[in-house]
Chains A and B, each alone.
Chain A
Amino acid sequence: MKLLRMTPGKGDVLLAEGDPAVAEDEERLVREFRRQLDLGMWAAVPHEGPGGRREATMVRDFSEVPAGAEQVIFFPQAAGG
């Protein structure tokens, strides 16, 4: 699993990568996940829906990330413009 973050001037950057089934990796992924939420990021998990349609799910805790997810994408919280 990769944790990516959209950033100005760079595009997406890799924050952490690992196998959540491995305890050491999971701990690192959870720590980075929480850090990004504390920084005010939103987290989305892209996936395929019915009929192969591209979908995304917002997650607020690492435990909500679906098993087998390959990526979590962090981006700044939306605000009214």
Chain B
Amino acid sequence: MRRRYVRNTARDRRAEQRARELLYATAGPEALDTYERFGLLAVENRQYGYLIYPHRPLVAYDAATGELLSEYCVRFRDGSDPEAGERLPDADDVLAKWMALRADEHELIRTANIHPLGRQLDPAMVRRDLEAVRQWRR
């Protein structure tokens, strides 16, 4: 019989906790703190910045002005265990995006589907998130 996704809150909570530990060990304490406070990661290179939401698009912005630019939709699906579903824990999803951006921003952006702002995420919410993260970092 074909196995199907079975919702299991306790299993998913344990997986998320484990993923947060990997996020801490890999991206550092500030990244975990940002994720736990705001539910996202923020990465800035010289020209562009990205807000990384779990299982939602990356949102690019101008690092100098904070102007929001585009949504970049990428997915990391794993079908190896149908009962667990295809989605990584939220903290693993943001860490996968973080590593891919850090390692090869252009490759990840080439892979993504590009959409105008507002396709999946409310631009007003994203602006508030960006402002909150920037203020907190100051």
Contacts and interface: CB of A to CB of B under 8 A. Distances in A.
B89 A78 contact: no
B128 to A, nearest CB: 23
A9 B84 CA distance: 5
A4 B18 CA distance: 12
A46 B8 CA distance: 31
B113 A81 contact: yes
Interface residues of B, number: 46
Interface string A61-80: 00000000001010111111
A55 B102 contact: yes
Interface string A27-54: 0000000000001001010100000001
Contact of A75 (B12, B73, B76): B76
A30 B105 CA distance: 27
A6 B88 contact: yes
Contacts of A46: 25-27, 99
Contacts of B78: 6-8, 75-76
Contacts of A42: 100
Given A46-B99, A80-B74, A80-B111, A9 B104 contact: no
B11 interface: yes
A17 to B, nearest CB: 15
Given A6-B19, A12-B19, A78-B111, A56 B84 contact: no
Nearest to B111: A78
Interface of B: 8, 11-12, 14-19, 21-22, 25-28, 31, 57, 73-78, 80-81, 83-89, 92, 95-96, 98-100, 102-104, 107-108, 111-113
Interface of A: 4, 6-12, 39, 42, 44, 46, 54-58, 71, 73, 75-81
Given A10-B14, A56-B103, 12 more contacts: A6-B78, A6-B92, A6-B96, A7-B78, A10-B15, A12-B22, A39-B80, A44-B103, A75-B76, A76-B76, A76-B78, A80-B75
